Amino acid sequence: MAVVPKFVGERIKRREDPRLITGTGQYVDDVRLPGMLTALVLRSPYAHAKINSIKLDAAQKVPGVVAVLCGDDLKDKVGSVPCVAPAEHVPYHPVLAQGKVRFVGEGVAVAVASDAYIAQDALDQIEVDYDPLEAVTDPEQALEAGAPILHDEFKTNSVTLASVPNPAVDEAMNKADKVIRFRIHNQRLAPVPMEPRGVVARWEPGYKQLTIWSSTQIPHLMRSQVADMLKLGENKIHVIAPEVGGGFGAKLNVYAEEALISHLAITLKRPVKWIERRRENLSGTTHGRDQIVYLEIAANKDGEVLALKGRFICDMGAYLQLLTPAIPGFSGLMMTGCYKIPALAFDQQMVFTNKMATDAYRGAGRPEAAFIAERTMEAVASEFNLDPADVRRKNFIAKASFPAPTAGGLVYDSGDYELTLNKALDQIDYNKTRAEQAAAAKEGRYIGIGIASYVEICGIGPSALLPPKLKGGGWESCTVRIEPDGKVTVLTGVSPHGQGQETTFAQIVADELGIDIDDVTVVHGDTALVPYGIGTFGSRGTTVGGPALMMSVGKLQAKMKRIASTMMEVPPEQLEFRNRTIAMASDASKSIALQTVIEAAYGYKTVIEGVEPGLDATSFYEPSACTFPFGTHVAVVEVDSQTGQVKFLRYVAVDDCGKVISPLLVEGQIQGGIAQGIAQALYEEVKYDEGGQLLSATLMDYAVPKANMLPHYELLSTVTPSPVNSLGVKGVGEAGTIGATPCAYNAVLDALKRLGIRDLDMPLKPETIWRAIRDAKKA
Amino acid sequence: MLLNLTINGEQRSDNVDPRMLLVHYIRDIANLTGTHVGCETSICGACTVLINGSAVKSCTILAVQADGTKITTIEGMAEGDRLHPLQEGFWEEHGLQCGYCTPGMIMTAADLLARNSNPTEAEIREALEGNLCRCTGYQHIVKAIQFAAAKMRTSKAA
Amino acid sequence: MFPASFEYHRVSSVKDALALLSQFGDEAKILAGGHSLLPMMKLRLAQPAHLVDIGAVHELAQIQEQGGRILIGGLATHHSVETSSIVKAKLPILAECAALIGDIQVRNRGTIGGSLAHADPAADYPAAALALEAEMTLENPGGKRKVKAADFFLDLLTTAVQAGEILTQVSFAALGAGTGGVYLKHRHPASGFATVGVAAVVTLKGTNFDKVRVGITGLGAKAFRASSVEKALAGKASDAIAAAASHAADGVDATSDTYASGEFRAELARVYTRRALEQAVARVKA
Amino acid sequence: MKIAGEQILSAPRQSVWELFNDPNRLSRLIPGCEKLNVLGPDQYEGTINVGIASVKGVYDGKLKLEDKRPPEHYKLLIDAKGKQGFVRGSGTLDLEARDGSSTIVKYAGDLQVGGPLMQVGQRMIEGASKMMLGQFFAAADAELQAAAVGQVARQGILVNFWRYLVRLVRSIFARA
């Protein structure tokens, strides 16, 4: 495209916002249908128990109650909650427990009533007789002989063991100056989208048509799975993801309630709504991380890292959700980070425990990988008394090496890691800050500088990389329709929920067609309108959805050029789109109004051979490879040695997500990501006690950070386009999170370095830090 | 029992169950669904509305307790098509992503700006203690509120 | 999120409220701001059969100065205490304490009477009430009685307020010359409650302590006066603070929860006591 | 949740042992206990109505005594549940004669508390259990002393609590 872009690369205000800032957007809970009933689910207070009996009759008699059901009522009527990722042991996962409960929060019964207050009255009347069983919450204990078994049929709590051996790693360990060993625990986290999950289902008996409104990131993939669970044709289910109030991976799933509420709507022949309460969200929506790794690092005195070896223990929880056992794989493959570490070996033991299932949470496997890589750099720096920035420089994959194959078997598309490090250190004024740190130390203060360089994998790519049972691949779809009046409708298969593709896709289309951004409307999240799509997760919206959009736009451009070429009698290759016209590239005065071409396409009064009427193009883009955004974050913190509290003094992030469509939205993604990354380092932790009781069941205990707990971010960027796709974009949804956790962690540990403290468990709560300081001073 | 109140300038009279929370009254009886529910424990602030000009969490008030009051929800902030400066600020500065916390954020910020027309970044962050956002990392929200504060000061001065 | 059913009574006088309390006994609860009771009702942990709403008893919301004492009605919101010109001038530490409670929305709605009567072990006000030697007025059908802060907090969520009584007023002596106070808290990152909160009020005579009062919340089942700290400072100069503050947690069975162990809470109590005393002294000297 | 502690009761060890093995008297000491029926040897079932501030709940449960070594030790298994949650676990009780007229009661237990109550109130569960234990021992002490002078403290905890309040109110008015 020869024309200078007018919208792409500009700070365009979001087109989603007017409805959201006026309270007129429609989330699932805002759906109102005539005759609609409300359902609430009774959940297990036990982590592991046999269900002896459930008495529903008192609940059924509460005035206003329409139905009360338990798991046994649904046998053979609703299928298992699906897991599409491969594993040796995939258990049957009923939508309501049958015979046994396996985690606190598992659904046991459901009450449907005229409103939620009455439904709650009904739940209070249900009597469940449980026989408590011994529970196991520690994945390492769950593997020991004699541990309580969650799923008797497997006779073990092992889900699967995946091994990637490599003899070169053992050789490197033998020849290295030093082998450093330690254990890392990426603790269990809760995604906590501000809008909990919710489902509304409507059955139209005359049409045998089911409509499901669900707060989901994957309307089509969910439809396919729910169709299976309910034994309905996919063409009989219409899924709408309305306004979705955040997902972060938690809504990249298929949940019991999506099938359960649909089943209720079908059998009761009335619309049914279920809105998750926050306690249900914290106990029964997928968690993230909970991964232990025993790490071995082979390194030389000069800081060169020769090999990495990891033995992972990954806590899957009680059942497997959609992708549960697939997540840790990314941690293994990506654990060499931005570094040219030549040899890698790992094995991953996935384990059942009496806890909610883990699954994707912002970053999904890559934050763990980046944490391993960055802890590796720090450990090597500490071991050999080197500057942590220098150790990174020593090991970085050089700019000239791209496309760069890695020890994990991936090929990084493009990058300049050292550039981001240098830029971040310049911004922070590294040498001066180190001097200030030393001066503060003399006053007895504890200032720390944390560095984290990261690379992550996005736009997950050729479909062969995705599980075969997913019924969808790594591709994405898009239809672009130019309407007869010249307005453009984009129907995308991605399903944004805050990412802003209604704006960025409109920017792209407006530039490509030389029209105004206000003439473009982007539609998503409705299976009756948009072609089958994969959805929004893994930073793929623009990375994979964008090229699909470009393909459809390209098809329409070609078609319109052919029509214009016939009308203007100019060869199509000499034409371009410019300011609502199609004009000759060499002579802009020779042009035809775009609207004239559009009318010709629809009016079709002149038949052009090989050109069909209409202006509607659908494309399915299959990426040839993944993209790899990267960057460096640097934080400066001060630790209060008496109370263990951490205060941020600076936070600098230099991120490279390839070409940028909207700098404003990229900033937003990075800032939000950093907040979640810092939250893992310092604040958040899903906590179960030994008996499997959830102790972080409300937002009174689970510490989602507030505005006054986070720093002011200084954002910088570099731009290294991805060669993988036509837009040159890499993805940005998860980058901030991936960089921020090791950065904040390293900063705190750097502050404590002079006390000899090298290893603490996350989150770095004040007490954790205070204890470490006290113990170090005692020693 | 009979409940009389004014909501976004409209007088209403409804028969409500005393146990109904104000947020459910606003959403389900008054049909103003811009006010959201994000937690059960009075922490997240998504349900924030103004009662007689003061920001409150409508999930922790019975509807009957609001008898005789004037309530403002997000739907009552704009005047016709003219957005409230806070709404403008959130739009201009990309102060929202998924939008779920936004109405509550705006209502709390309205109370803050009524007390302090020129808050510092630290004061804004402290004022948002009762509002959680999971998307933005808060920085653009801070900027949005500063934008609105500046605009409101200018229009007051004019 | 959906309270159980109850009968709702709105009253316009304390007398009417007391009459309903004696009529329904244990089945009735007083509803003021509702910020202690409604959270429990939403989760159905509390299911009172009768709610007596005193929100319309407007005289209970007043803040006034009388005979050298500051009288704060039980219905005064945290926000009205935080912003009251009387409180800011005469009891600045109380205004500062109120400003640290919860968040703007909670402060607009929560009341001093509700907070003190609920006696959450991690509430902020009890520490300040103890350090300021507040006096609570309790009304019952037989009349009024006054209880000193030191005798008010009995145990976890348990105060001297008897069944059938209402806490209608809290009274404080205005801080005199040479007296300064500071309230510091370690805020729980999620709930905003005081993991530990320390209110220190000191009166200096020359360079030495004439009177020291320290109220601590969050550490144990109830807020308490740190009398061993106070005794250790009697008549001493401010260089005695560090040693005295080390007694802040003496004799207290410190609470452990998922965020902070009892051991850590005790350490926070010592550190915050020292800091609060130092800052209080600095205020007097300034 | 682990709890442990000790308490001195002003009665000889044998009297304390007898008290702790007498369901009729125990039912008056357990805070809120509405009934305590004998199911079999050393097995009981009962109902307690617990209320701390506005949080009230009824719990039905079973109690079993094991490893009895009169008059010094038993193990106690408890499994109680109500709408707001459950408590289950085990504990030990050891009685040591302090002197002829008083006994040291050492208790240690590992309790699992679950359900909505725990989810919402984890920060207060420990305090609440300590408070209830305190009430129990205060009532036990009063019961033992009353028994010693030949009286029966008919209403156990309530009577004791009432006495305490009366004392408190008096002391307040005395000071005022």
Same domain as B69, residue B16: yes
Are C106 and B127 within 8 A, CB to CB? no
Cα atoms in the Cβ-side hemisphere of radius 13 Å centred on C92: 11
Mean pLDDT of A691-698: 95
Mean pLDDT of C122-148: 97
Which residue did the predictor score with more confidence, C286 or A294? A294
Whether the link from the prior residue into D71 is cis, omega within 30° of 0, is: yes
Predicted pLDDT at D150: 64
Same domain as B149, residue B98: yes
Confidence of residue C168 (pLDDT cuts 50, 70, 90): very high
Domain boundaries along the sequence of chain A: 17-23+475-621, 32-363, 413-459+626-778
Q: Touching check for B147 and chain A: CB below 8 Å?
A: no
* The two structure tokens encoding residue A97: 């427990």
User: d(Cα C164, Cα C22) in Å, to the nearest integer?
Assistant: 6
Predicted pLDDT at D155: 47
% of chain A surpassing 70 pLDDT: 100
Mean pLDDT of A353-369: 97
What domains are defined for chain D?
2-175 (3.30.530.20)
In the sheet that holds A646-656, the strands lie side by side as A446-455, A630-639, A646-656, A714-717
Nearest CA in chain C to D56: C46
Q: Find the CB nearest A691 among D79, D112, D119.
A: D112
Q: Touching check for A121 and chain C: CB below 8 Å?
A: yes
B chain contacts of residue A116, beta-carbon cutoff 8 Å: 24
Predicted pLDDT at C134: 98
**Helix (H/G/I), strand (E/B), else coil: D171:** helix
Q: Choose the CATH number for C179-285 among 3.30.390.50, 1.10.10.10, 3.40.50.1860, 3.20.20.70.
A: 3.30.390.50
Same domain as B71, residue B46: yes
Nearest CA in chain B to C3: B19
Q: Is residue B98 part of a domain?
A: yes
* Cα–Cα nearest to A670, from A730, A604, A760: A730
Are C8 and B61 within 8 A, CB to CB? no
Mean pLDDT of C181-204: 98
B148 Cα to chain A: minimum distance (Å) = 13
- Counting the structural domains of chain B, the total is 2
Mean pLDDT of A385-390: 98
A344 Cα to chain B: minimum distance (Å) = 35
Phi, psi of B140 (to 5 degrees): -70, -25
Domain boundaries along the sequence of chain C: 7-52, 64-173, 179-285
Q: Choose the CATH number for A413-459+626-778 among 3.40.1280.10, 3.40.50.300, 3.30.365.10, 3.90.850.10.
A: 3.30.365.10
Mean pLDDT of A592-597: 96
The CATH class for the domain spanning A32-363 reads alpha beta
Same domain as B60, residue B32: yes
Size of interface B-C (CB pairs under 8 A): 86
* Cα–Cα nearest to A557, from A504, A522, A549: A549
Q: Which residue range(s) make up the domain with B133?
A: 85-157
Q: Is residue B80 part of a domain?
A: no
In the sheet that holds D2-9, the strands lie side by side as D2-9, D102-114, D85-99, D73-82, D55-69, D43-52, D33-40
Domain end marker among B55, B75, B95: B75
Q: Is residue B104 part of a domain?
A: yes
Mean pLDDT of A458-487: 93
The residue written with tokens 């258990």 in the block is: A91
Mean pLDDT of C84-93: 97
Domain end marker among B17, B44, B75: B75
Are B19 and C3 within 8 A, CB to CB? yes
Per CATH, A32-363 and A413-459+626-778 having the same topology is answered no
D chain contacts of residue A695, beta-carbon cutoff 8 Å: 118, 122
pLDDT at A376 over 90: yes
Are D121 and C45 within 8 A, CB to CB? yes
User: d(Cα A617, Cα A551) in Å, to the nearest integer?
Assistant: 9
* Cα–Cα nearest to A722, from A495, A416, A506: A416
Are A45 and D79 within 8 A, CB to CB? no
The domain spanning residue B47 has which CATH number? 3.10.20.30
Predicted pLDDT at D119: 82
Same domain as B109, residue B56: no
Q: Find the CB nearest B55 among C1, C4, C108.
A: C108
Are C157 and D124 within 8 A, CB to CB? yes
Same domain as B89, residue B62: no
DSSP string, A707-730: GGGSPPPEEEE-----SSSTT-B-
C125 Cα to chain B: minimum distance (Å) = 18
Mean pLDDT for all residues in chain A: 97
Alpha helix (H) residue ranges in A288-346: 327-333
Predicted pLDDT at D153: 45
Q: What is the pLDDT of residues D60-108, one digit of tens each?
A: 999 999 999 999 999 999 999 998 899 999 999 999 999 889 999 999 9
The CATH class for the domain spanning A17-23+475-621 reads alpha beta
Q: Find the CB nearest C156 among D131, D168, D176.
A: D131
Q: Choose the CATH number for C64-173 among 3.30.465.10, 3.40.50.2000, 3.20.190.10, 3.30.1370.100.
A: 3.30.465.10
The residue written with tokens 């811009």 in the block is: B34
The residues on D that touch A, with CB distances below 8 Å, are 1, 79, 83, 85-86, 88, 112-116, 118-120, 122-123
Confidence of residue D147 (pLDDT cuts 50, 70, 90): confident
Q: Which residues, other chains included, contact C135 with Cβ-Cβ below 8 Å and sequence gap of 6+?
A: C146, C147, C148, C149, C170, C171, C172
Domain end marker among B75, B100, B121: B75
Neighbours of A179 (CB within 10 A): 15
Mean pLDDT of C40-66: 95
Are A700 and C261 within 8 A, CB to CB? no
Predicted pLDDT at D165: 52
Say which amino acid occupies A539. Answer: S
- Fold for the domain defined by C7-52: 3.30.43
User: d(Cα C86, Cα C78) in Å, to the nearest integer?
Assistant: 14
User: d(Cα A125, Cα B85) in Å, to the nearest integer?
Assistant: 49
Same domain as B99, residue B65: no
User: d(Cα C73, Cα A151) in Å, to the nearest integer?
Assistant: 60
Same domain as B153, residue B95: yes
Mean pLDDT for all residues in chain C: 96
C chain contacts of residue D55, beta-carbon cutoff 8 Å: 40, 45-46, 157
Cα atoms in the Cβ-side hemisphere of radius 13 Å centred on B89: 25
Partner residues linked to C8 by β-bridges: C51
Neighbours of A44 (CB within 10 A): 26
Nearest CA in chain C to D119: C43
Q: What is the pLDDT of residues A131-165, one digit of tens each?
A: 999 999 999 999 999 999 999 999 999 999 999 99
pLDDT at C272 over 50: yes
User: d(Cα A379, Cα A384) in Å, to the nearest integer?
Assistant: 9
Are A701 and C268 within 8 A, CB to CB? no
Partner residues linked to B24 by β-bridges: none
Q: What is the pLDDT of residues A66-117, one digit of tens each?
A: 999 999 999 999 999 999 999 999 999 999 999 999 999 999 999 999 999 9
Predicted pLDDT at D175: 39
pLDDT at B152 over 70: yes
Are C255 and D126 within 8 A, CB to CB? yes
Confidence of residue D162 (pLDDT cuts 50, 70, 90): low
Chains in contact with A, counting 3 or more C-beta pairs less than 8 Å apart as contact: B, C, D
Nearest CA in chain C to D53: C157
